[in-house]
Structure 1
């Protein structure tokens, strides 16, 4: 990595991450951390790479790791290739090389920008062949792959030509009504009604009711400025949702009798099929408010024949227990009053406006159960 902080701060980051071991290479551009399950021995430390011999404490198995941060010019990178090749003389066992090479092997690995020079790719290819390395193909995280595709969809929609919609006034009226319908959150609506002023007043009154003019903080003092209310809200809900301690005592689970058969358990842990995920998606309310990414459930229901396979992949990854990236579980909290007069944040109910991906994956698992 290329840190924007000095090497003297590596200790601070090590403590924040809860990792016992860390080091910085001689160029101060590469920071490395490892858990106490491993012992590290520096084989070679240079300006553009560091090579370590990693030994697993319990298994006593060895592996070699080379982390690269290459220079910008081809001449300087020649020194890098030669230096790593010299390090291979001390490597006997599994070896992985990774990092920032500042050059690619093939032209199709690059999009846009300046053209590549074949001589530079030839240098890297020569290095890979001489060291007996094999390129590992990228396997996308289902969540990241899904997010990337949705970004492309949003870009395409932004560029979409709306000439077809400009011809008829009725189409515009339908769009306007749908917009106010969504903002008002009203689920009853007749197609023959055409009264956007009504929705406008409804939304305006709703927003006025939901707005906070003042509120009491944790000390019982009244605060009224937006900044103070915002800070108090963050503090209140951070304390409410923070997990203070985690129980590691599972002895009581042994006292719970087994009530299902092996066959029933196998069906419960089976991966959700495409049909189960589809039922979960169509079981969600299509008219519900869209999440932070701007895509509503209705969009995925209508376009299921296009994106259904990607949604199923994502649901299966969740079923396997794969960690949800932040862009998936990111949510907006909307505070709904629990009573007519709001005095403190305990008088408000937080409602989560999650993304479709955050809703559909758990729903698919529940449908499977």
Structure 2
């Protein structure tokens, strides 16, 4: 079997996905050949991540058992160290000083354990804490707790401005700067990460009519749509492609299609997905770049059949289609650039979760007065 890629590191998701593939019928030998991991390593991962059934019917992995044992030993050791290190000082110092010791050690040890070791009643500790803690400190703790909740709900994608907006909607009276300070103190930062994008084709293209002409204003939904294709890489299947269609009024991704080839069928599928869910009228403008998929005869026929007016960016002018390119940049910065997708299937699921579960329905947009695309669409339909 021989060692492969000695010293190479694999994240937990990669390991678990390999184990999932093994459990779904792939042999360790085939997986070793395909992903460059030794069979010995694969069997180690299988042992680590494959669940075992317990007496009560639940499942647990050997890795989880090892972590539980390690945590139990750590807690036992901490209790012993506490008793040795602090048990003798109770007779020599004042209660206020003991309380300060507990406060200093709260991040490292359980409060009840600290109180027991130092001989301080829990009620005494908490009563003293309430007396010494200022209103500002209490407010900051409450704010930080809620900020962390919002931050986690956004999957680390929201920065201070958006979190501040949500806090204000919930009735908190707080400035953006204060939110920034509390986030910095808590080590919370919005994830923004840029990555290389494959270069576009140098093939000569013929200029076509630009109906949109960088006029992104709208009066209602399904008036102006924009479309584009972006690249997403996977370990197993290489480059895959996402074709998206956005409504300029709501900024909602009304249609999309994810495939292994950048074909006309891909953009036709994305447009059909949008047409299946949206009630369009004659005269809808669909703007795209001059890519061969959008200028193809089949795509033009679909637009003509559905009474859609095609509009095209000028060659070499990305600003003509800035809105959809902005969405794809958000997708990369908030999702794709932070993950290594094993294959098309896992990437497809992640894209679905991002667009449908996050971007359209949960992600607030400053350009939409801190509402979600779905909020705007719903408001327009009921207006």
TM-score bracket for the superposition, by shorter chain length? under 0.3
Compare the two structures and name the one with the higher helix fraction.
Answer: 2
Structure possessing the higher relative contact order (Cα contacts under 8 Å, 6 or more residues apart): 2
TM, length-normalised to structure 1: 0.19
TM, length-normalised to structure 2: 0.19
Compare the two structures and name the one with the higher strand fraction.
Answer: 1
